[in-house]
Each structure stands twice: as C-alpha cells, then as structure tokens.
C-alpha cells in the first residue's frame, strides 16, 4: 500500500489489506469516502438513497471494535458499498428507477447483497439506474440523470451507470451491477473502469428453472478488485436451481500466469470481430481507437487476427428482440394491467410489454432454437480462437439530455436499444464477457473493448483482462479530473 495515497484512491485490494492489518481504521475509511461523496456526488447523481453519516460512522466504529476483538468478517470488512437500485438491501428503498416504487422499502436482501454484507461491507445507499434498468442511459423521474465521470454533461451509460460513475470518481471501492443488454459493460466502457458479465448461473439470479439472459456481476477500478467482488457474489444457492456448483474461492487466486514477462500469453489467439464485417454502424473514431488498443494484446504475446461470425446477424437481432420482449412483459405485466400504474411507465417499457403480448409459445421455442444455432456458430469460432474481442459500444458517451441516439454514422436506429446491438453477441453466448478500457478519443471520452470467452472459463477471462490491463494501464494510470 502507498502510505502517501489518499484513502479513496487505493484499490479495493489494498484498502482491504490496510484495514485487516489495522493500518487504517474502518472509521477513517468511511470518513474519507463520505467526504468524497459529499464533494462529488451532487455533480453526477451516481449514489442515491444514502444513509445518514452518523449511522454509517457508528457502524464503521462497530467494525473496528469487532476487528480489535479478533472478529474479522472477510475481505470487505468495513468497506463502504452501494447496491444497484434494482436489487434489494434490507431497510433501503428499492425504486428500480420508477416513481411506482418510490416508497418500496426492502424487507430482505437479494442473495448477493446478503453475501456482500456477510463479507463485512457496510451498505451506504444505492446506485442510480434507468427505469427498470431499460436502456443504457441512466435517467429516471425519481432521482434524475447520472452524469459521466469524465464529462458530467454526457451519459454515464447504463443500466449500472451510477455504479460505474461511483467507481470512477472514487466514491466506491467496488460496485455490484447487473447485465442484460450490456449493463455491466457499457457504463464501464463509458467511465474507464472494469465491468464483468459472468457465465450464466455463476452468480445466483432467481428461482426460475429456465436459464435467464440477465445476470448479476461485479465492477471494479481494476481487474483484481473485480475478481475479489466476484468471489463474494458467486457460488451456488439452493434456492436458485440454475446457479452453478462452483467454488468462488477460485477468484481469490493470483490472476497472473507464471513465466517470463510478456511470454506466458505467447500463442494465445485473439479473434477481432470489429464492427461485424460492416454490419454495425459505428461513430467515427470508435473502430480506430479499438484497433489501436489491440496492441495491448500483442504486447503480452497474443496473436490477433480478424474473425467472422458465420451467422445471420439480422436473425440474431430478431432472436434478441423475442427474448427481450418476453422477459420485460413477464416482469412488468402486473404494472401494465393497472391503468393508473401504466401511466407512470416510460415509452420504452410500454413498447417492450405490448410487443411481448404478441408472442406465442412457438415464437419462444423458435428463438431458443435460433440461439442454439448461433451458439454452434460461436463455438466454431472458438475452435480457432481462444478469445473474441469487439468494441463495447458503437458510440462515445453522448449528451445526457439525449435519451438514446437516433442515428449512428448516417444509419437510423429503429428502437431505443438498437445502438447497443454490439453487446448482444456476448449476452446470447451465455459465457463470460469483460469490458476493459480501450483508451480515449480526442475529446477525452473513454471507450472499451469486450473480451468474450468460452462458457464457464470465467477465471481465464479475468486472467487475460488483467494481463491486458497491465500492458495498457488506461484504468491504472488515468482518473477523472476530480
């Protein structure tokens, strides 16, 4: 640990070690983070439903007393933590970004939140989200709009926008998030942090017997911090039949490979998907910046070649729409059925629900079959490549007053989320996808790369991300102008 560094600038790993060694008290840490929040959060609206300073400092003091008596909870002992406002934290409001739930106080913890608490974290509040997490633009009528860490007038991305900005502006050591259509990846790219979508089932999601496309996962300022939080969130839950029976302690292991520097990744094959052979419209500068960032993989010994997905991408989009409509309708139908509540739903939510109403069982079955065919095509690519890489977003962060981009490079966007199509391959793969920073454009706006790995190879995904991170150091050496 750098003893001269401000507390809030320490990595979560270093902060945890300092608390355990009693080099820093939990009260000192909480005091530093609350000061950072007080100074910077009003500018960006990243953290919401904050608990009182008096209460939080009292809980930090209890953590210090427990530590002094030998009662150490885990690596998050005394760390301040804010929960994404789509998940429940007992005693706090879960608004889901909707005025409908403005008084919805949670009476229990979501599974992964309970695990974070058991690891010693102190819950300080929530992180801001779009209404019901729909759309990669964090705005709602409850708390307002979250500004980007690098340019407060621009979008933070979403739906884990508040989490990403809280991390980037050093108001949180680590952050939890969720991901359906890039919600862990897109805001991470827009704020120069790490966002990891794990393999389906690695982090328990629900009691459903059907494999679901959404997932919960970790975010961090570094890959190591992200892996640490994953070690807490992951692991089988008997109440979640699709959760995986894995040992989450594997994510506490060192991420580096043994061998000479820049040689232990020699021969690793990276497939560059780019803009999917011209299919995806990209804002000027995105592809050039990302292709330059590929040098980070070459620097650690990887071989980078162009990759082509042998599958109909328009068909993949239709498969995506079917699943998206189905899930949104199934979760939101009770709200839609109530005429008074329906008036409080934003147009994007209503659009998803009404389209979902037209689906039949045959439509769902057909989409499942198409997803299986896509998975076989993706598996074919993984016979040639170890990892697949493509941009995390098709545009740089745009004005936060814009709900969503209507046009990209001359091509109109026909839905509120068409501009995010680049993330659907990773979601539908069911495998781990991690966002790593790709650098900045001339205007100082961040971009990221998605690394897609084979299903269930989550530790290997974190390993190559860590090696790339050390080679490029975009998130290690550059922070927002606080």
Question: Which residue carries 């009691």 as its tokens?
Answer: 207
7 vs 29: CA distance, rounded Å: 7
Q: Can you list the alpha helix ranges (DSSP code H) found in 75-208?
A: 111-118, 161-168, 186-191
Residue 392 tokens, joined: 């995390």
Asked if 359 and 322 touch (Cβ cutoff 8 Å), the reply is yes
Distance, in Å, from the CA atom of 448 to the CA atom of 392, rounded to the nearest integer, reads 5
Q: Hey, CA dihedral for 393, 136, 81, 89, is it positive or negative?
A: negative
84 part of the active site: yes
330 noted as active-site residue: no
Q: Tell me how far apart the alpha carbons of residues 340 and 461 are, in angstroms, rounded to a whole number.
A: 46
**22 annotated active-site:** no
Which of the residues 25, 98, 183, 243 is marked catalytic?
183
Alpha-carbon dihedral 439, 442, 445, 447, rounded to 10 degrees: -40
Alpha-carbon gap, residue 20 to 29, rounded angstroms = 12
Given the residues 25, 63, 84, 117, the one annotated as active site: 84
The most distant pair of C-alpha atoms in the chain lies apart, rounded to whole Å, by: 65
Indicate the helix (H) or strand (E) that contains 435.
strand 433-440
**Contact criterion met (CB below 8 Å) for 419 and 398:** no
- Report the C-alpha gap between 426 and 106 in whole angstroms: 32
Cα(297)–Cα(387) distance, integer angstroms: 11
Here the tokens at position 410 are 């001359």
386: nearest Cα among 316, 307, 326: 307
Cα torsion 1, 226, 389, 425 to 10°: value is -170
Strand 80-84: give its sheet, edge to edge.
47-48, 122-127, 80-84
Point out the catalytic residue in the list 11, 25, 136, 159. Answer: 159
Across 363-379, b (16+ Cβ under 10 Å) vs e yields: eeeebeebbeebbeebe
The C-alpha atoms of residue 147 and residue 162 are separated, in whole angstroms, by 9
Residue holding tokens 């592809």?
287
Q: What is the rounded distance in angstroms from the CA atom of residue 24 to the CA atom of residue 31?
A: 11
List CB contacts of 326: < 8 A, sequence separation 6 or more. 356, 359, 364, 367
Please give the structure tokens belonging to residue 460: 């290997």
Sign of CA dihedral 97, 190, 482, 174: positive
* Catalytic residue list: 84, 159, 183
């Amino acid at each position: 640990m750098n003893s001269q560094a401000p507390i809030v600038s320490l990595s979560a790993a270093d902060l945890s070690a300092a608390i355990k060694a009693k080099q820093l008290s939990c009260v000192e840490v909480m005091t530093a983070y609350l000061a950072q929040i007080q100074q910077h959060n009003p500018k960006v609206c990243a953290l919401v439903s904050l608990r009182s300073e008096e209460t939080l400092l009292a809980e930090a003091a209890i953590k210090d007393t427990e530590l002094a008596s030998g009662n150490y909870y885990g690596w998050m002992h005394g760390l301040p933590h804010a929960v994404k406002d789509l998940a429940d934290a007992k005693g706090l409001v879960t608004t889901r970004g909707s005025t409908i739930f403005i008084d919805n106080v949670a009476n229990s913890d979501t599974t992964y939140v309970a695990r974070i608490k058991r690891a010693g974290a102190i819950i300080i509040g929530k992180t801001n989200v779009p209404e019901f997490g729909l759309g990669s633009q964090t705005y709602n009528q409850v708390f307002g709009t979250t500004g980007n860490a690098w340019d407060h007038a621009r979008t933070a991305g979403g739906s884990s926008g508040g989490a990403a900005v809280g991390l980037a502006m050093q108001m949180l050591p680590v952050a939890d998030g969720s991901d359906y259509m890039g919600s862990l990846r897109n805001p991470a790219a827009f704020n120069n942090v790490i966002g990891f979508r794990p393999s389906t089932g690695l982090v328990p999601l629900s009691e459903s017997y059907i494999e679901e496309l959404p997932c919960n996962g970790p975010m961090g300022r570094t890959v190591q911090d992200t892996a640490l939080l994953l070690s807490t969130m992951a692991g089988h839950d008997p109440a979640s039949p699709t959760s995986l029976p894995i040992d989450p302690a594997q994510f506490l292991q060192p991420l580096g490979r043994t061998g000479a520097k820049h040689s232990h990744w020699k021969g690793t094959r990276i497939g560059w998907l780019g803009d999917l052979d011209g299919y995806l419209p990209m804002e000027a500068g995105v592809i050039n910046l990302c292709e330059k960032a590929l040098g980070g993989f070459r620097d650690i010994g990887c071989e980078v070649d162009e990759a082509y997905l042998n599958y109909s991408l328009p068909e993949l989009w239709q498969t995506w729409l079917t699943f998206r409509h189905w899930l949104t309708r199934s979760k939101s139908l009770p709200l839609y059925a109530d005429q008074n509540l329906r008036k409080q739903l934003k147009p994007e939510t209503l659009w998803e629900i009404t389209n979902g109403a037209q689906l039949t069982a045959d439509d769902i079955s057909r989409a499942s079959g198409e997803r299986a065919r896509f998975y076989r095509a993706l598996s074919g690519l993984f016979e040639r490549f170890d990892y697949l890489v493509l941009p995390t977003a098709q545009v740089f962060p745009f004005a936060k007053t814009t709900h969503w981009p209507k046009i990209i490079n001359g091509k109109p966007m026909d839905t509120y989320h068409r501009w995010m199509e680049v993330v659907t391959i990773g979601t539908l793969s069911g495998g781990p996808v991690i966002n790593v920073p790709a650098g900045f454009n001339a205007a100082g706006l961040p971009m990221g790369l998605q690394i897609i790995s084979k299903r269930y190879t989550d530790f290997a995904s974190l390993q190559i991300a860590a090696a790339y991170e050390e080679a490029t150091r975009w998130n290690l050496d550059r922070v927002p102008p606080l």
